[in-house]
């Protein structure tokens, strides 16, 4: 690969537009007037060094320049994802792609058009400077710079010049501006009940779309993460260590993207963020390392509305009939006959929008409104605060101030103090409030079974409470959310706060946050066992306690706790059955090493057995021994062998050997290649989670839905942090990119890449370097113009 020379930050600050290579400098590709204009007023300037696997290390003198570099680099690797996300939050999917299956694009557009019509994004941007809801100048600079960087890439390449065939020449790829970015932030990662909101209509009218069956839980169904924060009592060095291991989709807007950001003398942060974000969301500095895991806390709730008998679009509140607000939305829909204007009406209440699904009907007597905790635009400032934190306490204070994360946060500082907290916006709903305000069997059942509050919408006393330190109305105050500080360890694998550290269970919180003294998942139990085995040295790795090498070994040890607990009893029951059809399965499972490595034979057979419901325990859960119970396979339950027979039948029908090695039947397709993937299903007790897509005859599973995505291990030392990671699905979604599959192959062989935190390490690994600068006039993309002064990017490619 071509190695090119770079230029110091002082030159960038002067606005000089230069490029060069190892042999001779390349001439400027700008007109003299444009170059002069930029020298006099460089609004955005950044230098980028790419190291192995295409990782961009971005240096700038300002936050605007940093955002500019992030936007440009991200667009180079993932322009189609960025452009499609912009299309989505602009409410224009149906305009370009049609209504979609079951009106999916139309529903998305109606939802996002309603968000735009509310004017909330603009209101928050223009709020009082002292408000936690108003983005700081630094946050706005990052956003403006990001938009300018993305737009600059589009101008440099031209839409027709984009290499990714998915959006090459597409009329929906356009330059973006600051408001596009903030609309993306405001909309959030997932849509909660978008179809139910867009479909709701009064009982005397027909449905606006096919009746929605979506559930607010399905948006994050299957998503998860592992997190270890290892304190000074748990490490060989007596310093802090961290493992971040989110289990996120391998395709789409929720993919991670590796970045390293530096403002000399002010900021140095490395890690990964979502591909459409301008932030490091999971990473480390020289003082702090942090990660997130999916929380069990419900961040929404329903209000059951008693309707006015004379008008089902009015509801009773404190004895008065109150009209619902109507939000009129018009969406353009591409059809065979051209663009058709579709008009929809959404109904809004004091609690939030009315929704209608199969389980939440709108009748003449009642309707349901959903209230969702609004993170607003706070997330960028929250991450700025995390990046600047010097201790676990600083990080905790930042989370309490903004309450802008929808996830658990697990962190450790260089001195070895660990932290766990679920401190985002959680509805301030107590058990007592639910008892007093649930007015239907449906509401009581939702709370008992799923911890979702369904409260009486006719009484002010049933609204969510507000604490003295709540950062928004109805939000649980940060001081009342689950938090823990220790110097041994924290372990989080998507169960509730309760057993983050078994030595100090967290109790006494509202069920809306999570369950307590209840069965933990097999993955949570394995996670805790892995730590205890490492602390004692019982895992067979070198010595006791953790260092970077042993943490990496633990991450990819690929133990299968479910197999360890039931395999032997299952084989015995299988052989005792004397069923000829099961005999090969008995032998295959007996030879299985109870791992999910590439050479583990029979792991896929056990996976199908477990997926069919075959893991049935005889000894029940004991809250006094939560890490080891329940246990022992109940071989008297006929469902056990029935599940095994089903697994055998499935593999026989697919013509897949029962004893095939996992690497031969679990792979990720990249072009014409199928890359073997290790790991397995979390519910079965696998720490290194890999969730597969559909299985194909003879081939097995040829695509990964979600699982280990950004894997990061950090060790603080006396010389500074040492860290390594791997982005399992690789840096670029562009199938023509050299960075489309390289880290996937690295993951396949259990490899890690140095995160190169220090400037010296970055320089030592430099593969490509280039500088960007842009002038002030019309170059931020805010007016989507293309003045000559904006075309001055120079990069050796």
Return the structure tokens found at 744.
């996937």
Nearest CA-CA partner of 171 in 332, 325, 301, 302: 332
State whether residue 659 is helix, strand or coil: coil
Asked if 725 contacts 300 with a C-beta cutoff of 8 angstroms, the reply is no
Asked if 192 contacts 219 with a C-beta cutoff of 8 angstroms, the reply is yes
Number of Cβ atoms within 10 Å of the Cβ of 627: 14
The two beta strands, 282-284 and 267-274, are antiparallel
> Is there a catalytic annotation at residue 225?
yes
Q: CA 532, CA 52: separation in Å to the nearest integer?
A: 35
Fill in the DSSP letter of residue 184.
H
Asked if 769 contacts 22 with a C-beta cutoff of 8 angstroms, the reply is no
482 Cα distance to chain centroid: 21
Fill in the DSSP letter of residue 790.
G
Angle at which helices 63-89 and 104-118 pack, to 10 degrees?
Answer: 130
> Which residues are CB-neighbours of 501 under 8 A, at least 6 positions away?
420, 484, 486, 488, 489, 490, 491
Fill in the DSSP letter of residue 580.
G
Asked if 387 contacts 411 with a C-beta cutoff of 8 angstroms, the reply is no
Fill in the DSSP letter of residue 405.
-
Q: Which residue has the tokens 């306490």?
A: 393
Number of Cβ atoms within 10 Å of the Cβ of 624: 7
Q: CA 115, CA 93: separation in Å to the nearest integer?
A: 15
The verdict on whether omega for the bond into residue 553 sits within 30 degrees of 0, i.e. cis, is: no
Nearest CA-CA partner of 427 in 516, 322, 351: 351
Q: CA 207, CA 119: separation in Å to the nearest integer?
A: 27
Return the structure tokens found at 756.
């190169």
> Which of the residues 108, 225, 491, 709 is marked catalytic?
225
Return the structure tokens found at 713.
């291990």
Fill in the DSSP letter of residue 422.
-
Q: List, by residue number, the catalytic residues.
A: 225
């Amino acid at each position: 690969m071509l190695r090119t020379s770079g230029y110091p930050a002082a030159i960038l600050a002067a606005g000089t537009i230069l490029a060069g290579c190892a042999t001779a400098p390349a001439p400027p590709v700008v007109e003299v007037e444009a170059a002069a204009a930029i020298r006099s007023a460089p609004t955005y300037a950044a230098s980028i060094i790419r190291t192995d696997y295409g990782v961009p290390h971005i240096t700038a003198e300002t936050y605007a320049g940093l955002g500019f570099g992030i936007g440009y680099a991200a667009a180079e690797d993932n322009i189609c994802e960025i452009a499609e996300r912009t299309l989505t939050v602009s409410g224009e999917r149906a305009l370009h792609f049609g209504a979609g299956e079951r009106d999916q694009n139309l529903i998305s557009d109606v939802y996002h058009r309603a968000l735009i019509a509310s004017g909330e994004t603009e209101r928050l941007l223009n709020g009082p400077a002292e408000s936690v809801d108003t983005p700081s100048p630094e946050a706005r600079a990052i956003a403006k710079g990001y938009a300018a960087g993305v737009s600059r890439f589009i101008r440099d390449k031209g839409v027709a010049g984009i290499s990714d065939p998915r959006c090459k020449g597409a009329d929906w790829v356009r330059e973006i501006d600051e408001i596009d970015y903030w609309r993306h932030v405001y909309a959030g990662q997932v849509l909660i009940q978008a179809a139910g909101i867009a479909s709701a209509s009064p009982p005397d009218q027909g449905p606006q779309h096919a009746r929605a069956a979506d559930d607010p839980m399905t948006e994050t169904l299957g998503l998860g993460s592992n997190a270890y924060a290892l304190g000074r009592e748990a490490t060989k060095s007596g310093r802090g260590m961290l493992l971040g291991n989110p289990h996120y989709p391998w395709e789409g807007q929720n993919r991670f993207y590796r970045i390293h950001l530096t403002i000399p003398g002010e900021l140095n942060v490395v890690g990964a963020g979502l591909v459409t974000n301008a932030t490091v969301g999971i990473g480390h500095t020289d003082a702090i390392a942090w990660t997130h895991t999916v929380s069990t806390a419900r961040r929404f709730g329903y209000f059951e509305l008693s309707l006015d008998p004379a008008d089902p679009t009015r509801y009773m509140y404190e004895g008065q009939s109150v009209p619902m607000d109507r939000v009129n939305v018009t969406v353009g829909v591409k059809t065979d006959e051209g663009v058709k204007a579709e008009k929809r009406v959404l109904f809004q209440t004091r609690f939030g929008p009315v929704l209608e699904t199969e389980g939440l009907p709108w009748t003449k007597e009642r309707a349901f409104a959903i209230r969702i905790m609004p993170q607003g635009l706070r997330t960028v400032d929250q991450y700025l605060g995390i990046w600047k934190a010097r201790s676990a306490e600083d990080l905790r204070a930042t989370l309490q101030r903004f309450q802008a994360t929808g996830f658990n946060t697990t962190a450790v500082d260089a001195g070895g103090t660990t932290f766990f907290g679920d401190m985002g916006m959680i509805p301030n709903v107590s058990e007592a409030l639910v008892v007093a305000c649930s007015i239907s069997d449906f509401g009581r059942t939702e709370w008992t079974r799923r911890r979702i509050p369904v409260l009486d919408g006719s009484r002010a006393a049933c609204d969510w409470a507000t604490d003295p330190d709540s950062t928004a109305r109805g939000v649980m105050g940060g001081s009342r959310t689950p938090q823990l500080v220790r110097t041994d360890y924290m372990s989080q694998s998507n169960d509730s706060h309760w057993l983050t550290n078994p030595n100090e269970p967290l109790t006494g919180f509202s069920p809306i946050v999570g369950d307590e003294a209840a069965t933990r998942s097999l993955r949570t139990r394995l996670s805790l066992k892995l730590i205890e085995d490492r602390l004692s040295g019982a895992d067979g790795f070198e010595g006791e306690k953790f260092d970077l090498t042993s943490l990496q070994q633990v991450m990819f040890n690929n133990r299968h706790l479910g197999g360890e607990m039931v395999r032997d009893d299952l084989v015995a029951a299988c052989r005792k059955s004397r069923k000829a059809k099961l005999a090969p399965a008995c032998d295959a499972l007996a030879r299985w090493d109870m791992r999910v490595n590439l050479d583990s034979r029979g792991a896929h057979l056990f996976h199908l057995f477990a997926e069919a419901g075959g893991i049935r325990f005889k000894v029940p859960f004991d809250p006094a021994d939560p890490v080891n119970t329940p246990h022992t396979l109940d071989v008297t339950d006929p469902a056990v062998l029935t599940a095994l027979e089903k697994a055998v039948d499935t593999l026989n029908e697919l013509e897949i050997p029962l004893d095939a090695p996992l690497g031969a039947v679990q792979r990720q397709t990249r072009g014409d290649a199928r890359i073997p993937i290790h790991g397995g299903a979390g519910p079965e007790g696998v720490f290194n989670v890999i969730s597969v897509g559909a299985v194909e005859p003879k081939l097995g599973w040829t695509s990964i839905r979600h699982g280990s995505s950004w894997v990061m291990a950090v060790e603080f030392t006396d010389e500074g942090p040492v860290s390594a990671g791997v982005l399992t699905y690789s840096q670029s979604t562009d199938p023509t990119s050299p960075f489309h599959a390289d880290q996937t192959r690295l993951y396949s062989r259990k490899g890690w890449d140095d995160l190169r935190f220090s400037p010296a390490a970055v320089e030592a690994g430099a593969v490509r370097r280039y500088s960007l600068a842009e002038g002030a006039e019309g170059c931020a993309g805010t007016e989507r113009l293309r003045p000559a002064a904006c075309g001055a990017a120079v990069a050796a490619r």
